[in-house]
Structure 1
């Protein structure tokens, strides 16, 4: 007996090959039943969120990831237009730029389909720096990878740790230039403040960013928003996206 499903990195678990779909699928869905559930869910989201711009796709994804229609109003875009960071993210995916997450959980949620971007996590690096200075492991890991030049031109994703977002803001102030930042660290201590600082620094230095306001956020949201950047890039690649939206991406 096989179980219909997929691992969080997009690989199927116990799904027979005849049941899988070749086309790109969201949420790791590969069976007919799973695809129907995913598509029905997104159809309902589209009734709740306008579908007028590329940025609306990110707003819709935030609703899908949180199950909260009001979350669309909490998303913030840093750039000359709301569409700008989505375009920058899709372009980075099309160019196979690295995706760098703060922790393992976010990395596990990044789809394995629709892109050739190497995906890595920051946590696990910078242990010596954390021990020597007393800073959090996530902050130290971001600083260590930045020292190695990992974040330049990368898709930087922070879904859990406010201190990682603050460290990345410091790196941007010091000259690091990610292709795009997705930042949704969650919690009651420094979460909202870290995103506010990251938005301010990103705006000052011209780094496109997608984030949210308030205490909420988290790894699943960060992974979902990053996956939507992959979806936009996939739609550009196969020509299914609105021509005007994709004008400077093809």
Structure 2
């Protein structure tokens, strides 16, 4: 994986696909693989396993430990599969994965892809200081000014203000390949995701979000990792994209 500073973690997507089988959460040993695979087998007993969108629902249950969470996931596009297809294609095209904060970035798998992965937070500090907006909102606006979000996998796992800022950017013409947004909390979280869904639908940007107060960095990373896994399955011939 290429990091934001241009370095790699020593395992490229091609190497991961060609040398080592892997599972989510970094499982590579026999014992860890068995645990990961058993966990997903149990999830598939609770969640349908028929469509690409079902894979995202399964991952949401896996990430939250809550079978009911599958009913809270929302897909923005002409079909439920469209955001998954768009995300997998972006991964195959090695488009950037851009997260809102460090915790989400840390959860993105380094295996099965060669996408640059970077975080927004840490950018736009002068804008935040000048305007009084949150650092996460300012960081999204700064990266958008640089054109970072166009054709990227845009991921928001923590900050509602980052989701709202991203919605404003999309409304103004920015076109991510796909948006994954699960900001969490009691203040503006649900509202920010609702606004993202509305703007994404109006502007033709595929998106995966959820309803309610729950969400968070682990969920956002897990859903993004599933896009990587779909791309890996396309590369190996196990999945064919429409």
What aligned pairs does 1:1-250 form with structure 2 within 5 A after superposition? 22-241=20-239, 246-248=240-242
For the residues of structure 1 that align with 2:241 and 2:94, how far apart are their CA atoms?
19
In the TM superposition, residue 11 of structure 1 has moved relative to its aligned partner by 6.6
In the TM superposition, residue 247 of structure 1 has moved relative to its aligned partner by 3.9
The Cα RMSD (Å) is 1.3
For the residues of structure 2 that align with 1:115 and 1:211, how far apart are their CA atoms?
23
Structure 1 segments (4+ residues) deviating >6 Å: none
In the TM superposition, residue 24 of structure 1 has moved relative to its aligned partner by 3.2
Query: Structure 2: which 5+ runs fail to align?
Result: 1-7, 11-18
Query: Structure 1: which 5+ runs fail to align?
Result: 1-9, 13-20
In the TM superposition, residue 35 of structure 1 has moved relative to its aligned partner by 0.5
For the residues of structure 1 that align with 2:132 and 2:218, how far apart are their CA atoms?
28
Q: 1 or 2 for the larger relative contact order (CA 8 Å, sep ≥6)?
A: 2
Normalising by structure 1, report the TM-score.
Answer: 0.89
For the residues of structure 2 that align with 1:22 and 1:197, how far apart are their CA atoms?
41
In the TM superposition, residue 65 of structure 1 has moved relative to its aligned partner by 0.1
Normalising by structure 2, report the TM-score.
Answer: 0.92
Query: In terms of Rg, which structure is larger?
Result: 1
Name the counterpart of 2:16. none
Corresponding pairs, count: 227
Secondary structure of the equivalent of 2:75? strand
For the residues of structure 2 that align with 1:85 and 1:186, how far apart are their CA atoms?
21
